[in-house]
Structure 1
Amino acid sequence: MLLSDILMLMLCGGISGFLAGLLGIGGGMILVPFMILVFGHLGFNPEVIVHMAIATGMATILFTTSSAIWAHHKHGSVDWKLVVALSPGMIFGGLVGGSELFEALKTSWLSLFFAIFIVYSSIQMLLNKKPKPGRELPGPLGLFGFGTFAGALASLVGAGGAFITVPFMLWCNVKPHNAMASSSGLGFPIAAAATLGYMYGSWGNPNLPVGSLGFVYLPAVACIVAVSIFTAPIGAKMARKLNVGQLKRVFGVMLLFLAAFMLNESRKAFGF
C-alpha cells in the first residue's frame, strides 16, 4: 500500500474508534466506503472489493469494541445480563450470515443492501423517537430470536449490530447510555462470529489478493486497529459528558452521505 492509502485507513480507524466509544457502534459502516476506495486504488478484483471491505471492517470491530467495552465497563455502563442474553442468538446469526448468505450475494446486491441499511440507521439516528413508557425487554426466546436476526443482518452489512440493537434497546426503555454501552459489549461476539464466517465462506477464493485471510485483508486491519484502539476510550469518556442526542443527529446526516456513495457503487455494479 502507498503512504496515502495507509494514512486514509489510519484516519478512518481513528474516527471509527471514537464513534464506537461514543455511540456504541462498531464503526464498520464508516469504514466500508473508504476501504472500497482504497481497495479499488490497489487494483483488487471488483468482484470481491465490497465483500472484502465489509469483512475487513467487521474484523476491526473485534479490537475496537474490546477497547470501548473496557472503558464503558469501568464506569458500570454495560448491562452484562442483557449482553449475555442476546449474545447466543447474535453469534448464531453471525455465523450463518457471514458464511452462507454473504458469499452468495453478488457485489451489486450487497452494495444495495448495505446502502439501504445505512439509510435505515441514519433515519433512526435523526428521528430519535421516544419509546412508550412501560415497555420492557422480551423473554429469553424473544431475545434469542431478535439476536439471531440482528446477528445475521449485521454480518451482511459489516456492522457491530448497534444500528439495530441500540434502537431495539431504546424501544424497550433501556437507558440511552446503557444501551450504547451494552451495544459495544454485543459488538465483540457478533464480530467474532461473522469474521469466522467470512473467512470460512471465502477460503480458497482465487480472486483474493496476497495478505488476505478469506475476505479479511490483514494489512488494512492493522492500519485501522493501530489507531482505533486508542480513540475508542476517548469516545467512551466523552459519551458521559456530551449531548449524545445531538451527536446522533450529526452522525445520521453523515450516514446519509455514505449511503449515497454506496448507492452509486451499487448503480455501477448493476451497470446503470
Structure 2
Amino acid sequence: MDAPLYLTAYLAIGALAGLLAGLLGVGGGLVIVPGLTVVLAARGMPADALVHTAVGTSLAVITVTSVASTHAHHRMGRVNWGRVRRLAPGLAAGAVAGAALARLLPGGGLRLAVGLFELVVALRIAVQPRLVPAETAPRGPESPLVGGAIGTLSALVGIGGGTLTVPYLLRRRVGIHEAIATSAACGLPIALAGTLGFVAFGWHDPQAAGLGYVLLPAFLPVAAGSMVMAPLGARLAHRLSGLVLKRVFAVFLAGAGVLMLAG
C-alpha cells in the first residue's frame, strides 16, 4: 500500500465504524481494532506492537466520538449523570489497568483476547439481539468494582464499553434509551484513561510507531470518517429493520473475530 491507499483505508475504517455505531448503537472499537490490525500489518508494523497500536488508536478515536455522542444524548436529556459520576472513577482506574495488562501481553496474546471478545459479542447479539430492562433490580448503589471490571476489559480490547455497560444498566432496570445515553457518557473516562495508558505504557517500546501505542496518522482519518458517518447511521436506523441489521452485524463480528484469531 502507498500513502493514498493507507489514507483511504483509514477513512473507510472510520466511516464503517461510525455508520454501524449510529445504526446499531454499538461501539466503533469492535470495527476499528480488527480493521487497523489488517492495515497496520500491511504496513509492516512489528507483530508485538501491531494489536497494541490498533487498540490504543481505537481508544483515542473513541475519546473524540464519545464527546460528540454524549453531547447529543445530553441535549435530549437522557444521560443519567448521577450514575456516570458513581461509575467514572472505577471505569477510569480499570481502563489504566487494562492498558497495563495489555502491555504485559505479547502481540499474539492480545490478538487472542480481542478475537475471543469479538466472537462472544457476536454470539450475544445473535442470540439476544433485543435488550430490555430487567424486571427486578439488584439492591444497593453501583459498585466501584463493576466500573473497574468494565473499564479493564474495555481498554484491553479497545472499546468504549457500551457492549458491557448497557447490559449492566439494563440489569439495574434503567430504560434502554437512558442506558444507551448513559453508556455513551461512561465511554469517555474509559477511552481517555485508556488512551493515556497506551501512550504511557508504549512510550519506551522501540517497536511503537507513534505516541506510544497511539498512531496519529491513523487516528486523525479514522476519527474524521467516524464523525462524518455516525449521524447518517443514526438517520438510517429509523428506516431499516434493526433486528436484521444486528444479525448481519453479528456475522460481521464473528468474521472479524475469526480473522483476529487466525492471525
TM-score (normalised: structure 1)? 0.88
Aligned counterparts, 1:1-272, within 5 A: 2-98=3-99, 100-128=100-128, 133-136=134-137, 139-140=140-141, 142-209=142-209, 212-239=210-237, 243-265=241-263
Q: Quote the sequence identity (%).
A: 35
Shift of 1:26: 3.0
- Identify which range, 234-243 or 189-198, moves more after superposition: 234-243
Shift of 1:231: 2.1
For structure 2, list consecutive stretches of 5 or more residues without a partner in the other structure: none
Shift of 1:237: 4.6
8 Å CA contact retained: 1:89, 1:144: yes
Shift of 1:181: 2.2
Which amino acid counterpart does residue 27 of structure 2 have in structure 1?
Answer: G
Counterparts of 1:112 and 1:186, CA distance in 2:
26
Shift of 1:132: 7.5
Counterparts of 2:46 and 2:133, CA distance in 1:
48
- Secondary structure of the equivalent of 1:96? helix
8 Å CA contact retained: 1:71, 1:237: no
Which amino acid counterpart does residue 227 of structure 1 have in structure 2?
Answer: G
Counterparts of 1:180 and 1:85, CA distance in 2:
17
Which amino acid counterpart does residue 53 of structure 1 have in structure 2?
Answer: A
Shift of 1:177: 2.5
- Secondary structure of the equivalent of 1:174? coil
Shift of 1:223: 0.9
Shift of 1:258: 0.6
8 Å CA contact retained: 1:26, 1:187: no
Counterparts of 2:125 and 2:27, CA distance in 1:
15
Shift of 1:139: 3.0
Counterparts of 2:153 and 2:201, CA distance in 1:
16
Which amino acid counterpart does residue 5 of structure 2 have in structure 1?
Answer: S
Q: In angstroms, what is the RMSD of aligned CA positions? A: 2.1
CA deviation profile, 1:41-94 (whole Å, cap 9, x unmatched): 212112111111111111100111112222222222322222222211101100
Shift of 1:205: 1.2
Which amino acid counterpart does residue 185 of structure 1 have in structure 2?
Answer: A
Counterparts of 2:20 and 2:166, CA distance in 1:
14
TM-score (normalised: structure 2)? 0.90
Shift of 1:144: 1.5
Shift of 1:243: 4.8
Taking a change above 3 Å as real, the CA distance of residues 22 and 138 of structure 1, as seen in their structure-2 partners, is farther
8 Å CA contact retained: 1:26, 1:159: yes
- Secondary structure of the equivalent of 2:10? helix
CA deviation profile, 1:137-188 (whole Å, cap 9, x unmatched): 5533x43211100000011101111111122223333222222222211111
For structure 1, list consecutive stretches of 5 or more residues without a partner in the other structure: 266-272
Counterparts of 1:181 and 1:155, CA distance in 2:
20
- Identify which range, 190-199 or 66-75, moves more after superposition: 66-75
8 Å CA contact retained: 1:23, 1:239: yes
Shift of 1:218: 0.5
